[in-house]
Amino acid sequence: MPSPTISFRTVPCEADIVAIRSIVTSSDVFRPDEIDVAVELIEERLRRGIASGYFFVFAEEHGSPIGYTCFGPIACTVASHDLFWIAVAREYHGKKIGSALMDETEKHIRTLGGKRVYIETSSRSDYLATRGFYQRHGYAVEATIKNFYDDNDDKVIYSKELSE
């Protein structure tokens, strides 16, 4: 269970731009262009509000973001959502913050009418722990697209049916 000082919030603010860049950079997994995309999604949400289609859950300790998710409905589907990002600051790895974020995010997806969640990730060896995390949370491999991100870097697509 995460520390009792952890709280969650769903309303983004300007300070989240810097927080997201810091959280994603701390993972040492993402390329600079991927980090830029993470920041672009929060900027888009701040610019357009919920019309952007990007929703966020932030895990905070003492009012400071230490992890977050970004998710949203998939266009032209009735009840399917993408989980675009889940990231926890490196110094908080192994403290169940990611699990708490996943649970909180799935609750929010349900409140938005979501019944299914899809996640795309890399097949690279440095994503092995990430893929294990998804599987421990009930996500199953739905498809693999060979050489999607780069040579020998497949896209692995996970899915989960959310219970009521």
pLDDT in tens, 110-127: 999 999 999 999 999 999
In a domain? residue 158: no
Per-residue pLDDT of 59-77, as tens digits, reads 999 999 999 999 999 999 9
Token representation of residue 94: 């192994």
In a domain? residue 1: no
In a domain? residue 50: yes
- This prediction has a pTM of 0.94
Which residues lie closer than 8 Å to 144 by C-beta, 6 or more apart?
Answer: 123, 154, 155, 156, 157
Look up the domain containing 36 and give its range.
Answer: 6-117
**CATH code where residue 76 lies:** 3.40.630.30
In a domain? residue 128: no
In a domain? residue 143: no
In a domain? residue 147: no
How many structural domains is the chain composed of?
1
In a domain? residue 131: no
Mean pLDDT in residue range 84-91: 96
In a domain? residue 28: yes
